[in-house]
């Protein structure tokens, strides 16, 4: 989940403010945050797949529209804001790229699955439609996109690798989005190639996933070597220092020690917290991301 964001540091990474904060996590006197077990299943880095079902259902108030002409297509608020920004950058007021399917309730996913079974058969459906409670569309972090043409296919929309769609792909990672089901990773994801399905994981994770050539399944596993706080992944991007670490959940409440500079001056705590992001991985723990300005946090 996101506590708040560092506007200054975040902007250079393509993070832009859009007011999607959720409730703050409690800080202890000793500068720790306490993460309830339920938070394993929340946040933009959750891995949802055939193996790991959706365990947390977003409340309506944390969903927002993305496309001016398609208010019914929703995403989780931060994802929606970032997708709007990305689309604005590449197409302004035009509607060359449109949305096809965003957030779905469990009932909607069930209906889509069953309709596809009837219309397309089992083999096709299991390749392109996730089982109910196993769809990224139920997390609010996924959007299917299409190039705006007549007769857009609902299950397999056209989103090619050239023209405006290429432009979108080139910028997607800077705004926190990955193409989730690529041809190369079919064996890892268990889902057919879906050039139209984009998943928000946030920055800098999308850029890292792209650079490393990983599927989200692989990235989730890979991050586990960077144990927080002792063996974090540390990098410098465009003058911004980023630290990423993994914490395995420890029962009902997991205590996570934060870097001293994130809490030691209580008067600036609000400001310091803007640098911190915490997301569950939907498997067994949490990913901590700290973004600091050049001058240090
Ligand atoms: Zn999709």
pLDDT in tens, the chain (297 residues): 444 333 333 333 333 333 333 346 667 777 788 999 999 999 999 999 999 999 999 999 999 999 988 999 999 999 999 999 999 999 999 999 999 999 999 999 999 999 999 999 999 999 899 999 999 999 999 999 999 999 999 999 999 999 999 999 999 999 999 999 999 999 999 999 999 999 999 999 999 999 999 999 999 999 999 999 999 999 998 888 899 999 999 999 999 988 776 655 443 444 445 578 999 999 999 999 998 865 444
Q: What does the pLDDT read at residue 7?
A: 35
- How many angstroms separate the CA atoms of 24 and 20, rounded? 12
Q: Please tell me whether residues 28 and 60 are part of one structural domain.
A: no
Q: Please tell me whether residues 189 and 64 are part of one structural domain.
A: yes
Where helices occur in the chain by DSSP H, the ranges are 7-11, 77-91, 106-120, 122-128, 163-172, 186-189, 205-212, 216-222, 269-273
Q: Please tell me whether residues 72 and 131 are part of one structural domain.
A: yes
Q: What is the Å distance from ligand 1's center to 75 Cα?
A: 12
Q: What does the pLDDT read at residue 28?
A: 73
Q: What is the Å distance from ligand 1's center to 102 Cα?
A: 7
Phi, then psi, of 86 in degrees rounded to 5? -65, -45
Q: What does the pLDDT read at residue 258?
A: 82
Residue with tokens 């990224």: 136
Question: What CATH number does residue 38 fall under?
Answer: 3.30.200.180
Residue 36 lies in a domain: yes
Instruction: Kindly state the tokens that stand for 48.
Output: 């949802």
**Nearest residue to 16 via CA among 72, 89, 70, 69:** 89
Q: What is the Å distance from ligand 1's center to 118 Cα?
A: 19
Question: What CATH number does residue 133 fall under?
Answer: 3.30.1380.10
Residue 208 lies in a domain: no
Active centre residues (catalytic): 194
Q: What is the Å distance from ligand 1's center to 111 Cα?
A: 15
| Torsion angle in degrees (nearest 10) through CA of 197, 236, 247, 19 | -60
Q: Are 140 and 76 in contact (CB under 8 A)?
A: yes
Q: How far is CA 290 from CA 203, 216, 265, 281, in A?
A: 11, 20, 17, 16
Cis bond leading into 61, ω under 30°?
no
Q: Please tell me whether residues 257 and 176 are part of one structural domain.
A: no
Q: Please tell me whether residues 20 and 66 are part of one structural domain.
A: no
């Amino acid at each position: 989940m996101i506590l708040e964001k560092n506007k200054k540091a975040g902007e250079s990474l393509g993070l832009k403010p859009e007011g999607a904060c959720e409730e703050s996590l409690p800080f202890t006197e000793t500068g720790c945050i306490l993460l309830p077990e339920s938070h394993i299943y929340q946040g933009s880095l959750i891995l949802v797949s055939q193996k790991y079902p959706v365990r947390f259902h977003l409340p309506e108030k944390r969903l927002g529209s993305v496309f001016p002409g398609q208010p019914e297509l929703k995403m989780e608020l931060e994802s929606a804001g970032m997708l709007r920004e990305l689309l604005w950058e590449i197409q302004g007021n035009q509607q060359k790229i449109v949305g096809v399917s965003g957030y779905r309730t469990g009932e909607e996913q069930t209906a889509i699955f069953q309709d596809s079974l009837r219309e397309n058969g089992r083999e096709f459906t299991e390749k392109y439609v996730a089982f109910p409670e196993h769809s990224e569309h139920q997390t609010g972090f996924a959007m299917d996109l299409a190039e705006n043409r007549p007769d857009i296919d609902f299950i397999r929309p056209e989103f090619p690798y050239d023209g405006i769609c290429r432009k979108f792909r080139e910028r997607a990672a800077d705004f926190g989005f990955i193409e989730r089901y690529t041809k190369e990773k079919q064996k890892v994801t268990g889902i057919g190639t879906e050039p139209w399905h984009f998943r928000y994981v946030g920055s800098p994770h999308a850029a890292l996933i792209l650079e490393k050539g990983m599927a989200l399944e692989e990235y989730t596993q890979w991050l586990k070597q960077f144990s927080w706080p002792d063996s974090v992944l540390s990098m410098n991007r465009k003058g911004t220092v980023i630290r990423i670490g993994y914490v395995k959940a420890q029962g009902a409440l997991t205590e996570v020690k934060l870097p001293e500079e994130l809490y030691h001056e209580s008067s600036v705590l609000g400001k310091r917290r803007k640098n911190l992001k915490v997301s569950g991985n939907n498997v067994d723990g949490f990913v901590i991301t700290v973004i600091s300005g050049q001058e240090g946090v």
